[in-house]
Amino acid sequence: MKAFILDRYEKKGVLRLGDVPTPTPGDDDVLVEVHAAGLNPLDSKVRDGAFKSLLSYRPPFVLGHDVAGTVVRVGANARTFKVGDEVYARPRDGRIGTFAEFIAIDQADVALKPKSISMEEAASLPLVALTAWQALVERAKLQKGQKVLIHAGSGGVGAVAIQLAKHLGATVATTTSAANIDLVRSFGADVVVDYKSQAFEQVLSGYDLALNSLEGDTVLKSLEVLKPGGKLISISGPPDPAFFRERGLNWALRQALRPLSAGVRRKAKARDASYSFLFMHASGEQLARITALVEAGAVRPVVDRVFPFEALNNALAYLDTGRAKGKIVVKLK
């Protein structure tokens, strides 16, 4: 089968289109013919080598974390799906590879695709929707009437997180550029801060939760908008000790890495708030709940641009500009 292969870690490197064996599904797997694959900043970070010490990928390997397609084979113990089912998924870490014509995925990571949207729209959702769900529902347990700041509201995670937070009954503030104010309001944002002309930490206060997806000092500034007991969840780092425990790092390495988040954890404690780092995980069960929200009209996919599969490197270059509104997708069928 055709696939885009990462031959070596390289910042802004180019993936090679080549032939690799079609995967054989394991007993608990489904083999999915890929119709569309979504792109994420995580793909760029893996390509650049940012996670090579935490994720056990050894080049050459096939990149890609989002998929929508059709089940063409099922493993001996796979009972959840049947041949012909239209599905979508974020394959678990260690088993990525959606930039290909086929991928074998553990059935536990898969959900039926929402019938009301296209394959390209479905491929845009799994990673960002699961990230939003795990931040707002699983970890923060966001409640009706609470106030949440969601950074980068026009980005992939931000666009879905705003919609999910509004569905949960929260008041939502977001940061974006002036050009995207109407867009984020269409997602449901109640308060919009133009980050180019306003300092969000000076105009917002009393928030129960902040969801950070930006680099630099934004994570520290986000603590300033929280009320006592508030929570800061960051998907861009720095990683905290709980994350290193979850990844199974040994005690000595965990101790060596603790200083990465020491500053933000110390400042959070001083403000009677909490800090945690979120690295989302695959979950077909959660994705099925997201499917229900899509079908009900509570969450809609936001696709900036669809590239042909052969132009995947162009799609990655566009992703690297950071200017996409919502998600970028490549189409195979």
**Nearest residue to 25 (alpha-carbon basis) of 72, 80, 94:** 72
CATH code (residue 259): 3.40.50.720
Residues 40 and 153 in one domain: no
Give the residues across from 233 on adjacent strands.
Answer: 211, 276
**Nearest residue to 237 (alpha-carbon basis) of 41, 21, 18:** 41
Distance CA 267, CA 249 (A): 25
Q: What is the DSSP letter of 223?
A: G
Residues 118 and 171 in one domain: no
Residues 87 and 24 in one domain: yes
Residues 20 and 138 in one domain: no
Kindly state whether residue 20 falls inside one of the protein's structural domains. Answer: yes
Q: Tell me the Cα Rg of the chain.
A: 20
For residue 131, with 0-12 CB atoms within 10 Å meaning exposed, 13-18 middle and 19 or more buried, which class applies?
buried
Given a contact cutoff of 8 angstroms between Cβ atoms, the answer to whether 210 and 149 are in contact is yes
Indicate the SS3 state at residue 100.
strand
Please list, in sequence order, all residues whose beta carbon lies within 8 angstroms of the beta carbon of residue 165, skipping any fewer than 6 positions away: 136, 142, 148, 150, 172, 188
Distance CA 190, CA 53 (A): 40
Give the residues across from 38 on adjacent strands.
Answer: 329
Distance CA 295, CA 117 (A): 9
Given a contact cutoff of 8 angstroms between Cβ atoms, the answer to whether 323 and 304 are in contact is no
Residues 102 and 131 in one domain: no
Given a contact cutoff of 8 angstroms between Cβ atoms, the answer to whether 34 and 96 are in contact is no
Kindly state whether residue 287 falls inside one of the protein's structural domains. Answer: no
Rounded average pLDDT per 10-residue block, the chain, 333 residues? 97 97 97 98 95 86 98 97 98 97 98 98 98 98 98 97 98 97 98 96 97 94 98 93 80 75 93 96 98 98 98 98 96 94
Kindly state whether residue 288 falls inside one of the protein's structural domains. Answer: no
Q: Is 38 left (phi over 0), alpha (psi -120 to 50) or beta?
A: beta
**Nearest residue to 195 (alpha-carbon basis) of 210, 176, 179, 209:** 176
Residue 41's identity, in one-letter code, is P
Give the residues across from 306 on adjacent strands.
Answer: 329
pTM of the model: 0.96
CATH code (residue 327): 3.90.180.10
Kindly state whether residue 80 falls inside one of the protein's structural domains. Answer: yes
Residues 134 and 265 in one domain: yes
CA angle at 186 for the pair 330 and 116, rounded to the nearest 5°:
50
Residues 273 and 167 in one domain: yes
Number of domains in the chain: 2
Please tell me the predicted confidence (pLDDT) of residue 241: 86
Kindly state whether residue 295 falls inside one of the protein's structural domains. Answer: no
Distance CA 249, CA 265 (A): 20
Q: What is the residue range of 142's domain?
A: 127-277
Residues 135 and 264 in one domain: yes
Q: Where are the alpha helices (DSSP H) in 134-261?
A: 156-167, 181-187, 200-203, 218-222, 241-246, 251-257
- 248-253 long-range CB contacts below 8 Å, 24 or more apart? none
Residue 30's identity, in one-letter code, is V
Residues 153 and 218 in one domain: yes
Please list, in sequence order, all residues whose beta carbon lies within 8 angstroms of the beta carbon of residue 73, skipping any fewer than 6 positions away: 25, 30, 31, 83
Distance CA 245, CA 260 (A): 14
From 240, 262, 277, give the residue that closes a domain.
Answer: 277
Residues 264 and 248 in one domain: yes
Please tell me the predicted confidence (pLDDT) of residue 258: 82
Distance CA 74, CA 66 (A): 19
Residues 105 and 72 in one domain: yes
